[in-house]
Amino acid sequence: MGTTKEVLQQMNRRPGVSYPVLVPNTNGLEAILALRETDEATTPRKPPLNEIAIFTAASDMFSIATTQGDVKGSIKSLREVARKARDAGLKVRGYVSTVISCPYYGRIAPTKVADVAKELFEMGCYEVSLGDTIGTGTKSTVVALLNEMTRHGLPLDKMAVSDASSFLSASREWY
């Protein structure tokens, strides 16, 4: 995160392409907003920094190991980040790690993932990415996860799931 400013300043950004910036907390957002102001003032022809990515996990143990706080605390912090970002005119995309299993905890209940995804949508994320962080997903676990999202009334068309098409075409159950 410490080199974000240098990377963004050196990027040859193209018109029409969104460049989401990973923002872990309010300090990260403030740095992006300051950079955005400087960027737009000094290079007005560059496409603007107009999107951030926020992230949490479905596993408390993973969240504690990676961000030193549990999921509930992460959600609370991200709610403020998302609000401030949207107020500044930024789009917000959410990410959920460990949606199938956690290296510290094991299997994650699909309902826990749905609860976290719902929180991200409620705070204004236009899309939520579901990450099988350690690669243990199978057709049946991903279909079960998507079915749970449907049961929670979450918009599947606003979710990003790696290679979901192969899972979804194999099972019509989630429709």
Over residues 138-151, the pLDDT tens digits come to 999 999 999 999 99
Q: With respect to residue 62, please indicate whether it lies within any of the assigned structural domains.
A: yes
Mean local confidence (pLDDT), 22-41: 85
Q: Check residue 118 and give its pLDDT.
A: 98
Q: Where are the beta strands (DSSP E) in 70-139?
A: 91-97, 101-102, 106-107, 127-130
Q: Please give the Cα distance from 161 to 22 (Å, whole number).
A: 18
pLDDT in tens, 124-139: 999 999 999 999 999 9
Q: What CATH number has the domain bearing residue 62?
A: 3.20.20.70
Does residue 54 have a pLDDT over 90?
yes
Q: With respect to residue 10, please indicate whether it lies within any of the assigned structural domains.
A: no
124 close to 86: Cβ distance less than 8 angstroms: yes
For β-strands 159-161 and 101-102, DSSP reports them as: unpaired
**Band of residue 43 on the pLDDT scale cut at 50, 70, 90:** low
Q: With respect to residue 76, please indicate whether it lies within any of the assigned structural domains.
A: yes
Q: With respect to residue 1, please indicate whether it lies within any of the assigned structural domains.
A: no
Q: Of residues 175 and 122, which shows the higher confidence score?
A: 122
Q: Check residue 36 and give its pLDDT.
A: 82
pTM, to two decimals: 0.85
Q: Please give the Cα distance from 101 to 162 (Å, whole number).
A: 15
Q: With respect to residue 89, please indicate whether it lies within any of the assigned structural domains.
A: yes
Range of the domain at 147: 18-170
Q: Give the burial class of 32: count Cβ atoms within 10 A of its Cβ; 0-12 exposed, 13-18 middle, 19 or more buried.
A: buried
pLDDT in tens, 78-94: 999 999 999 999 999 99
**Band of residue 63 on the pLDDT scale cut at 50, 70, 90:** very high
Q: With respect to residue 6, please indicate whether it lies within any of the assigned structural domains.
A: no
What's the structural domain count of the chain?
1
Q: With respect to residue 5, please indicate whether it lies within any of the assigned structural domains.
A: no
**Band of residue 48 on the pLDDT scale cut at 50, 70, 90:** low
Q: With respect to residue 26, please indicate whether it lies within any of the assigned structural domains.
A: yes
